[in-house]
Amino acid sequence: MLSSTASCLCGSVKITASEINPKFSVCHCDSCRTWGGAPFFAVQCGTAVEIEGGENIKVYESSSWASRGFCSECGTHLFYKLKKSGEYNMPVGLFQNLKELEMDMQYFSDQRPDYYCFLNETKEMTKAEILEYFADQV
């Protein structure tokens, strides 16, 4: 597990995550690509997350099981948070100094559009596989 700090573009929000999994995932689902204009490169940060400037975070309830947070001042995407477990997934690009990151999983591979692909060899899950695997967690 890695520890690192992050900040949004304008500096209103500062984040310290102390249990970052260096094996990150990419989500190709329609929601993530609509939210960010591209697939979501997400690192699992667990629940050991400290947030400074939380009053500047706008939270959008994107589904019944998760919410998405962004800086209300500059729009920087900050997290995808699972409601039940309280676990954070954060954009890998927020953390400037993480080393030994490895793309490990691609979610919603069946929603990946034809206009891009990655050379990284990773595990993949389709929507159907995800719904089955996480059925008890959502």
Taking CB under 5 A as the criterion, which residues in 1-30 touch Zn ion? 8, 10, 12, 27, 29
Residues near 4 by beta carbon (within 8 Å), at least 6 away in sequence: 16, 17, 20, 95, 96, 97, 98
Can residue 51 be called a binding residue for Zn ion (CB under 5 A)?
A: no
Query: Residue 109, interface with Zn ion (CB under 5 A)?
Result: no
The Cα 135–Cα 71 span in angstroms is 31
Choose between 12 and 44: whose C-beta lies nearer to Zn ion.
Answer: 12
Tell me the DSSP string of 98-114: --S-EEEEEE-GGG--T
CB 45 within 8 A of CB 19: yes
Identify the residue among 66, 71, 82, 94 touching Zn ion (CB under 5 A): 71
Task: Give the rounded distance of the alpha carbon of 109 from its chain centre.
Answer: 16
- Using CB under 5 A as the binding rule, whether residue 73 contacts Zn ion is answered as yes
For Zn ion, the closer of residues 1 and 75 by Cβ is: 75
Q: Does 32 bind Zn ion (CB under 5 A)?
A: yes
| Footprint of Zn ion (CB under 5 A) | 8, 10, 12, 27, 29, 32, 71, 73-74
